[in-house]
Structure 1
Amino acid sequence: MSAVVCPTCHAPARRVALRTVKAMLKGAALRRLQPDGDFYFCASADCEVVYFASGQTFLVADVRERVFQKDAGSDAPVCYCFDWTRESLVAALLRGARPDEDIEEQVRERRCACDIRNPQGACCLGNVKAVLANARARS
């Protein structure tokens, strides 16, 4: 079976639950949603498509949240459940804190709702760790 790719940028895409798409879409976009079929998330920073399915695409402007993968701003969300941004993660790291460990603890305690709150429909820990590793490499 071949990998699913974004119809606009042709980057590999990952399947995302319909409930995630429904939770993320603004009202006007939700009204256009045809809920049948599989939906996919495009993580390419250079592409405006966030979600797509057969014959449907939803763009950055169609979603309620800023999308980490598509927003390079320091105040862009990285962890949607516990309100960590790129800036707040780096600031915590500089203070000697371990925000990744805090988030892991919250996940262990089953407090996260990544499947609904995170536009990628999955846990943010990979993104959090990448931001922290990048910050460590620059310091």
Structure 2
Amino acid sequence: MAIVSSAPARAATNPYTPQSACANDFGGSWSSTTDGHRSVLTPTGAKWGDVYLMYNSATGYNCVATIKSAYVGTASYTFASIMVQGVAQWYSEARYLKYYAAVQRPAGGKCVQYDAGIMNPTDSGSASGGRHTWGNCG
């Protein structure tokens, strides 16, 4: 008898935090923001990761980091996106990644939205999360 499981592999722990992901990709020191965290969930509510909005006070940049908790260490399509108020487009890092996706944009004096997604390695299931209202203004 074969047993089929649709649950993602969770054997590996992700070595990256949102601060280290942003620093690894962009340098500098990153801090958490108010209302800057959402779970990345499948349509059935399974958690495959987290998305964070970070801030670098020295540069005035925001960084969005999608940190995987499912399929860690296995390349799967993962993205992190940010939209800055007054700029009518999303900026994203989106590709097959093992641990995280991160994107940064200057947003001094402006509000932002953020978004994230994680696909399973066979591209047959996905999880998403983010904040699709303006916030973190300043």
TM-score higher than 0.5: no
From the two aligned structures, give the one with the greater strand fraction.
2
* Higher RCO, Cα 8 Å, sep 6+: 2
TM-score (norm 2): 0.27
Give the TM-score taking structure 1 as reference length: 0.27
